[in-house]
Amino acid sequence: MNKRYLAAMSLITAVLMLAGCGTKREAVIMAGSTAFQPFAEKLADQFMTLNPGINVTVQGGGSAVGIQSALAGTAQIGMADLVQLPEEAKDLTATEVARDGIAIVVNPGNKIEGLTIKQVREIFNGVITNWKQVGGDNWPITVVSREAGSGTRTSFEQIVGDISLMKEALIQDSNGTIRETVANDANAVGYLSHGLINEKIKPVKLDGVECTTEQIISGKFKLVRPVFLLTQGPPEGAVKQVIDYMLSPEGQETIKSSGLIPVK
């Protein structure tokens, strides 16, 4: 090998070593609530722009996964959107970063504009099975629900009360798939995060109250649950930086503009 070749190889090696040193980043994993996941991803992107030395990875799986991941240490931050945290979460530190309404949604072609809590309960229990029973057209109702362990489902059932989900219900594994199922079935009804409403679906009034940010803040809309970030002990280091950012004016404004309800 000639001297020029050796010098070139040494230079390349040095550059690669420096590049490797420069790209080392502290890692924070968030896991859990699929309802909060898209908002957490947006907040994480903003945070990483301001803090390039910290890499935040956001994973779904549901609130139950968020709690178990935080307990097991496979995620530094668990995400859970539950009205009441279960007993197994008592050893975790819970920080509320947002609140979220749960909208009852139907296909835009459905003429139904509102339901009562009692009607919602009876629809999901299979007592009311046809839209004509609640003032709609003569078509069977397709009930769409989340899987067991979902924070959205648990909160929905806790607030509505006395839910024994009909066995014919279609079970979906995320708020996004609930939305797509209802959008593609003229007779479907489901529930999802207020922040994920779009033109593909139609939220209905609940006991005469619309699912809007204003009505959620006023306390008039009743299907509302908190969003918790769960950690082993008080947040420290990079984990604390991530949570503090979500509670900062900028983070809370992102939460508000995305359709959730800020806590500050």
Phi, psi of 190 (to 5 degrees): -150, -170
Same domain, 84 and 110: no
Task: Give the predicted TM-score (pTM) of the model.
Answer: 0.82
Same domain, 108 and 187: yes
| Span 38-48, pLDDT tens digits | 999 999 999 99
Give start and end residues of each alpha helix (H) in the chain: 3-22, 37-50, 63-72, 117-124, 151-160, 175-183, 213-218, 237-247, 249-257
Average pLDDT, the chain: 91
Same domain, 114 and 177: yes
Distance CA 244, CA 250 (A): 10
pLDDT at 216 over 50: yes
Same domain, 208 and 141: yes
| Span 154-168, pLDDT tens digits | 999 999 999 999 999
Same domain, 111 and 183: yes
CATH assignment of the domain containing 170: 3.40.190.10
User: Which of 36, 148, 24, 147 lies closest to 97 in space, CA to CA?
Assistant: 36
**Is there a domain that residue 22 lies in?**
no
CA distances to 43, 122, 210, 229, 254 from 257, rounded to whole Å, are 12, 34, 18, 20, 5
**Is there a domain that residue 7 lies in?**
no
| Residue 235 DSSP SS3 | coil
Q: What's the domain count of the chain?
A: 2
| Contacts with 233 (C-beta within 8 Å, 6 or more apart), sequence order | 93
**Is there a domain that residue 21 lies in?**
no
Provide the domain limits for residue 118: 101-218
pLDDT at 65 over 90: yes
Same domain, 214 and 160: yes
**Is there a domain that residue 4 lies in?**
no
**Is there a domain that residue 14 lies in?**
no
Percentage helix, strand, coil, to 5, in the chain?
40, 25, 35
Same domain, 79 and 122: no
Q: Which residues pair with 94 in a beta bridge?
A: 230
Same domain, 78 and 121: no
